[in-house]
Amino acid sequence: MVQKTLLWSAIVASFASISTVLASDSDVLSLTDKNFKDEVLDKDLMLVEFFAPWCGHCKALAPEYELAATELKGNIPLAKVDCTENEALCQEHKVQGYPTLKVFRKGESSEYNGARKKDGIVSYMKKQNLPAVSDLTASDALDTFKTADKVVVVAYIKSDDKESKEAFDTLANKLRDDYSFGLVTDEQLAKGENVKEFPALVLYKDFDEKRADLSGAALKDGDWTAFVKSNAIPLLDQVDGDNFGTYADSGLPLGYAFTANEKDRATFDALLRPVATKYKGKINLVHIDGAKYAGHASNVGLKEEDFPAFAIQDLENQAKYPLLPKDGKLTTDAADDFVKGVIAGTIAPTLNSAAIPESNDGAVKVVVGKQFNEIVMDKSKDVFVEIYAPWCGHCKKLAPTWEKLGEQVKEKGGDSLVIAKLDGTENDIPPETHVHANGFPTLKFVKAETNEVVDYNGDRSYEDLVRFINEQATDRSFKLELKTEDTPVTEEKADESKDNKDAKDDDAANHDEL
């Protein structure tokens, strides 16, 4: 993934000495390095956004964040820090991308993992303000709790069952960012909810069958977590940037029904709903707006002109399985057979690949999807591969350094190391290699003999890359000497981040991304 983005500027320097600065038309606190400790570290709960004024994602978040701050005003404060004005403060809190949102409790911080729309922010922070488990001792409290959110989880446990209570506390603390948890020990209340066996878990929701029950299992069993996650997702919801993370966290493959209009969506809903029901807990199926997210179609092996269409993506290893019926029409039986085959592993993933180059004798070897295993996973030699995008500013600045490394390795001779590059926008990496690119450029050192993959996370200067190669080389007699002449200038990271962000924004200008 390309670097995240942040919000609009902080307050002017002349107001920096004021302990809290609140713009007259804003309910979001503006914080600086001078007032941060006083305003944040003693608060029971606060959400803080670290942003940069130039960041596109920050600008998009700004109005939603403001609305959330207004709704939560007087209960849970929301604040922001301009990292271009408070660099040391942002470094102290390990801010690496924009926007970064962190939840603070008495000075201790954790990552915000909720949606970035007003309702999602409000819901997430209200959950944070509750105890991990709410004790429900009366019928009216239970009735209110059941409808307090889109999904709530209630455990029915006998009052003397300490082991189950402790296990439920563990479950609730683990998933509190996503769901609200309640506990009922009153057996009469349980009977009123038609709970006849203890311990029991009931998931109340405002969609599909409205309720899911599980009982008779030990709460410490991992099935409880799987039960909550699988039943908290609608059978055939519309996926977008706000709820995509929920599907990613489920750990299940995701089947997309791409449609461009309501008529096609209704048709696909009718034929896919039986499949979604049959394979619930093994795969999630969703509708996706083919016009808004057309760019995502290529990520799963489809083209825009294929719509309406269906494809499956294994989110863990990015394997993709497009279903392209020969007659152009999808049926329930065809979808059922396809889903069953993907789950069983009898259907191979589709691999995008550029054409194999006719000549590949350059200092930097060109890798395409079809030859990734042959070149990069060759156990006879080390391979240092760059996964890049043609539009990426980082990649353009790295190119002369990467070429210089390739030339130096070629001059040295021998077959113990290969410097390589792969265009990540045209080529898929075979999922079985477990090599993933989460941004551009991604640099991976694949060791000879073992195929151990070592991530390069250092500075992209020539000197640091040479040091890394000498440290990682399987052949301990292999050493590159530093060549100081014509060494490319080390990248200017802040400017380059902006350039790369702008390039990505230009590339995705016509389509939203999940």
pLDDT of 319-341, one tens digit each?
Answer: 899 997 766 688 999 999 999 99
β-pairing verdict for 200-205 and 236-238: unpaired
Helices (H), strands (E): how many in the chain? 16, 21
Mean pLDDT of the region 412-431: 89
Mean pLDDT of the region 485-504: 40
Q: Is 55 designated active site? A: yes
Q: Domain for residue 391, yes or no? A: yes
Residue whose pair of structure tokens reads 């989880």 in the numeric block: 153
Which of 203, 232, 261 is at the close of a domain?
A: 232
**Same domain as 240, residue 338:** yes
Residue of 2, 6, 48, 58 marked catalytic: 58
Phi, psi dihedral angles at 103 (to 5 degrees): -95, 125
Residue 514 has a pLDDT of 65
Residue 18 has a pLDDT of 28
Mean pLDDT of the region 493-510: 38
**Same domain as 88, residue 52:** yes
β-pairing verdict for 180-184 and 151-156: parallel
Rounded Cα–Cα distance for residues 493 and 495 (Å): 6
Rounded Cα–Cα distance for residues 478 and 463 (Å): 16
Spacing of C-alpha 468 from chain mean position: 28
**Same domain as 257, residue 201:** no
Q: Is the pLDDT of residue 501 over 80?
A: no
Residue 187 has a pLDDT of 93
Q: Is 290 helix (H, G, I), strand (E, B) or coil?
A: coil
Q: Domain for residue 85, yes or no? A: yes
**Same domain as 182, residue 124:** no
Contact yes or no for 63/28 (Cβ under 8 A): no
Residues 6+ apart with CB under 8 A from 332: 271, 272, 274, 275
- Which class for 144: exposed (0-12), middle (13-18), buried (19 or more C-beta within 10 A)? exposed
Q: Is 83 designated active site? A: no
Residue 219 has a pLDDT of 62
The rounded percent of the chain whose pLDDT value lies above 70 is: 87
Q: Domain for residue 504, yes or no? A: no
**Same domain as 339, residue 246:** yes
Rounded Cα–Cα distance for residues 466 and 128 (Å): 46
**Same domain as 124, residue 138:** no
* Residue 505 pLDDT class (50, 70, 90 cuts): very low
Q: Domain for residue 206, yes or no? A: yes
Q: Is the pLDDT of residue 24 over 70?
A: no
More confident call, 13 vs 83: 83
The average confidence (pLDDT) of the chain is 85
Rounded Cα–Cα distance for residues 153 and 203 (Å): 5
Residue 184 has a pLDDT of 97
Residue of 31, 40, 55, 385 marked catalytic: 55
Q: What tens digit of pLDDT does each residue of 128-170 get?
A: 888 889 999 999 999 999 998 889 999 999 999 998 998 899 8
Residue 319 has a pLDDT of 87
Mean pLDDT of the region 100-108: 90
Residue 352 has a pLDDT of 85
The rounded percent of the chain whose pLDDT value lies above 90 is: 57
Q: Is 58 designated active site? A: yes
**Same domain as 172, residue 93:** no
Q: What tens digit of pLDDT does each residue of 42-72 get?
A: 899 999 999 999 998 999 999 999 999 999 9
Strand order across the beta sheet in which 21-22 lies? 21-22, 29-31, 78-82, 46-51, 100-105, 108-111
**Same domain as 265, residue 209:** no
Q: Which region among 248-252, 357-361, 491-495 has the lowest average model confidence (pLDDT)?
A: 491-495
Half-sphere exposure of 127 (CA within 13 A, CB side): 26
Q: Domain for residue 485, yes or no? A: no
Q: Domain for residue 483, yes or no? A: no
β-pairing verdict for 365-367 and 417-423: parallel
* Residue 298 pLDDT class (50, 70, 90 cuts): confident
Q: Is the pLDDT of residue 497 over 60?
A: no
Q: What is the CA radius of gyration of the chain?
A: 26
Spacing of C-alpha 27 from chain mean position: 29
Residue 317 has a pLDDT of 78
Rounded Cα–Cα distance for residues 310 and 267 (Å): 12
**Same domain as 390, residue 464:** yes
**Same domain as 223, residue 174:** yes
Q: Which of 166, 159, 151 is nearest to 184 (CA)?
A: 159
Q: Domain for residue 20, yes or no? A: no
Contact yes or no for 153/203 (Cβ under 8 A): yes
Q: Domain for residue 377, yes or no? A: yes
Q: Is 320 helix (H, G, I), strand (E, B) or coil?
A: strand
Contact yes or no for 201/215 (Cβ under 8 A): yes
Rounded Cα–Cα distance for residues 442 and 8 (Å): 29
Give the residue numbers spanning the domain of 279. Answer: 236-344
Q: Which region among 41-55, 156-170, 206-220, 407-421 has the lowest average model confidence (pLDDT)?
A: 206-220
Residue 507 has a pLDDT of 37
* Residue 218 pLDDT class (50, 70, 90 cuts): low
Tokens of 513: 């991304």
Mean pLDDT of the region 98-102: 93
Contact yes or no for 29/47 (Cβ under 8 A): no
Contact yes or no for 395/441 (Cβ under 8 A): yes
Residue of 115, 312, 395, 514 marked catalytic: 395
Q: What tens digit of pLDDT does each residue of 447-487 get?
A: 999 999 999 988 899 999 999 999 999 998 888 988 765 44
Count of domains in the chain? 4
Mean pLDDT of the region 427-431: 88
Kind and range of the H or E element at 133? Answer: strand 133-135
**Same domain as 175, residue 159:** yes
Residue of 375, 392, 418, 420 marked catalytic: 392
Residue whose pair of structure tokens reads 């991308």 in the numeric block: 97
* Alpha helices, DSSP H, located in 444-483: 462-472
Rounded Cα–Cα distance for residues 446 and 417 (Å): 10
**Same domain as 167, residue 192:** yes
Q: Is 90 designated active site? A: no
* Alpha helices, DSSP H, located in 221-279: 223-231, 244-250, 262-278
CATH number at residue 211: 3.40.30.10
More confident call, 203 vs 436: 203
Residue whose pair of structure tokens reads 């994602």 in the numeric block: 57
Q: Which region among 33-47, 289-303, 446-460 has the lowest average model confidence (pLDDT)?
A: 289-303
Residue whose pair of structure tokens reads 């016009």 in the numeric block: 291
